[in-house]
Amino acid sequence: MGALQKICFATNNSNKLKEVKTLLEGKFEVVGLKDIGCDEDVPETQETIEGNSKQKSEYIWDNYKVKCFADDTGLEVPSINNEPGVYSARYAGPQRDSKANIKLLLQKLEGKEDRSARFKTVISLILDGKIHQFEGIVNGEIIAEETGTDGFGYDPVFVPEGFDKTFAQMTMEAKNKISHRGRAVRKLVDFLI
């Protein structure tokens, strides 16, 4: 069997990179931004998850000319106007502190009966200069306190629909089977192979 096709996942988030490498294992050699020599901050200035995802992949394509895909993910909570949404990573400020983001989210949800939420990932792939987008959504709810030690971001307070565990209580393999990113990546894989 020949060498795997190399594709860049436009992220500096080692957790995301590990998750996607697991999903694409044996199909593609997934490399991160550091592997292609990109150490600058990739712009994320759009007002939507779709827009940020597209902007990031276009930036890598325009500047590095490598096959690439980028994702943007947001947690949307209807009872607080779909916050944090596109600002999920920097909800509590530009320092991107997951603990502070969760604390702010839980404060805003105090006294709210409706704690439903959904994670949404949009992946933008650039192949031969053309953009293709893939969306993955998982519905669930926000619990009142952090539970579990695996995962990252809002995983310790998000319980996916049909489960009684948070994403942070699941193994990466179990989470990848049902997660928003896993769903979007499977659509990407189906498209690529």
pLDDT in tens, 98-157: 999 999 999 999 999 999 999 999 999 998 778 999 999 999 999 999 999 987 899 999
If you average pLDDT over residues 80-89, what whole number do you get?
A: 95
Name the domain count of the chain: 1
Catalytic annotation, residues: 72
User: Residue 111: enclosing H or E segment and its boundaries?
Assistant: none
> Tell me, what's the pLDDT at 2?
60
Name the residue range of residue 55's domain: 5-192
> Tell me, what's the pLDDT at 108?
97
Q: Give the CATH number of the domain where residue 99 resides.
A: 3.90.950.10
> Tell me, what's the pLDDT at 151?
78
Question: 143 phi and psi, to 5 degrees?
Answer: -90, 170
If you average pLDDT over residues 153-173, what whole number do you get?
A: 95
